Structure 1
Amino acid sequence: MAAESPAPRSCVPRRSVRWRPVLAAVCAGLLAGAPAAQAAPKPTVKQLKKELAALQKDSDRLITDYYSSRIAHQKADKAEKAAREKLTAAQEVFDRHSTDLRALAVAHYTGAEPNQTAMLVANQDPEALLSRLALVQHLVSLQDAKLRGYAKVRDDRQRAQEEATARAEELDQTLGELEGRKKKAEKQIERIKDKIDQLYRAPGMRPDGTFVPQLPQGADNITPRMALVRQLVKERFEVPFGIGCYRAIQDGGEHPLGRACDFMLSHGGALPSAAERARGDQIAAWAIKNARRLGIMYVIYRQRIWHTRTGVWRAMSDRGGTTANHYDHPHISVY
């Protein structure tokens, strides 16, 4: 006969008679509860590369769409310019014919009165009268032709106006499509950059997420962890005004330990341009986003400090200058 399995030990003290029903219910709930949730496993390099390949394939499609939109926009721009030139020429002809038409109207309304015309006809001989009537008929024919010509010019100008308006609307539409596709492609490129970042892990990370201290190395006297962060920032954002890391001055910070770098946004203590300030914002945001994975301890930028422990920005005291207050560079320190 098979031995019975031992009953699970109760978590209710035997002496707690009065509270035994309540404690028993609590214990039952704890024992029957679901196992503690485990953190989702980190993606492997193989998985990340597979996801990266899919992102790049989709990126190629978006870039192709963007290219097609650029071509369509360029064609629309060319057609709009041609329509505007055509309208300008039509307007010039229209203005000239309008002037002629006004002159014709003035001549008509300032001519002889009917009784005066009859008197002139009565006093002329037949030959002269025929010549004058022929001239009048000729002038009437010229007037009719001028009126017909004016009508054509007017219609041509109207068509040119409508075509110019249509081409301008088409240009606006293609511009909107171009901007939309550009933004989609840019977002996809950012996803690819983020996925590439995830391929890197800070050296010296323990399984519990803490970091083993590192010694500076190489000619630039910075730790491998700082070297990785510097490389990633330099490749992703470019830093045209230089990167300063190790310095021997013992100021209580991480620079003398090879664990900090300054990513300069201007020269000589000058305030950075709006574009460079935006670059600084992007570097700081990237550092915060990747802090735990890359072993970033804190970020200083624009007289504020963000620390991994708190996860929020806080103001710093005035240190007396653009560089000292970190307005011209984000500072990144690693563990």
Structure 2
Amino acid sequence: MTAPLRRWLTPVVAVLAAFAVFAGPMPATAAPNDPKPAEHDDDPPMLNDLIEATTRDYSKAKAKLEKSKKRQLRLAVEVRSAQADLDALSPQVAQIATQSYRTGRVGAIAMLLQSSAPDSFINRASALDELNLVNDKKLGEVNAIKLRAEQAKLALDAEVREQKKLTNDMARKKSEAEKSLRLVGGVGLTGGLVDATSPVARIGPNRSSDGGWKPESCSQNDPTTSGCITPRTLHMYKEVKRAGFNRFVGCFRPGDKFEHPKGRACDWSLQNSGFSPWHNNDTRIYGNNLAAFLVRNADRLGVYYVIWNRQIWFAATERWSSYSGPSNHTDHVHVSLL
């Protein structure tokens, strides 16, 4: 059942620590009329689908890596075999080289001229041809083995490079999946039911030259109540709406010492009216995606912290941790700004 709207008028959280966020200089603001930044898909995949796809890619890359290792081993054996053949032929090659050095072309002619009879001359010529054939065969074997070894070595080097590329690719994809999962709160918070990407928000007002955020007063009319909010909160409100989150929201609320009476916080309900805990995929995914949008754009919007589904995320630490305040925040996403 939907709780009365006065539930929202109760104190939201007891924040145990205060953090200051300092960020580097940001790029120029996107054009105001750009309804959806180019780097955001119109229909991004769910994070659990992305993780599944990444896991499948990891398995494929791992299989290729194992295949590469087996071929690497086979080529290494081939190189060693070729080297052994070369080593075995080395004495024969040395003998041929020595003989060629001693005889040469002049030595061969002299050997023929030493024949006193025609038959002897023919026999010596045949022997010389046979020797040349043997020499050519041995040298051919050496060259063939050497070429085979060199080709195998080149193939082995290419295989090693491919193996390293596959390994690095696996590490990168695994790291990206883990980082993306951690950023939005992990499976424990989202169940993986969250878009893999979010629209990119335009940068909030009053950003200082050093990348920090200048203090603001509660000077703008709150579009959700009769109270006031800061210019940065109003900007955040408009950016969340621009990203497609159009369900009930309340910002200013008097009575406590935290960000609501300062106009620096909003509670984004999962319902079109009032507040009620998430109870199906629609409401859970809505809360997951809204929290993910705020976290992914924290540095552009000046987010202080986000609370959703019993977890709190501080921009200063960029980590989710367990939250056990007076409200478990299963019925809305709370965001406070600097």
What TM-score, normalized to structure 2? 0.40
Indicate the structure (1 or 2) with the bigger Cα radius of gyration.
1
What TM-score, normalized to structure 1? 0.41
Greater share of helix? 1
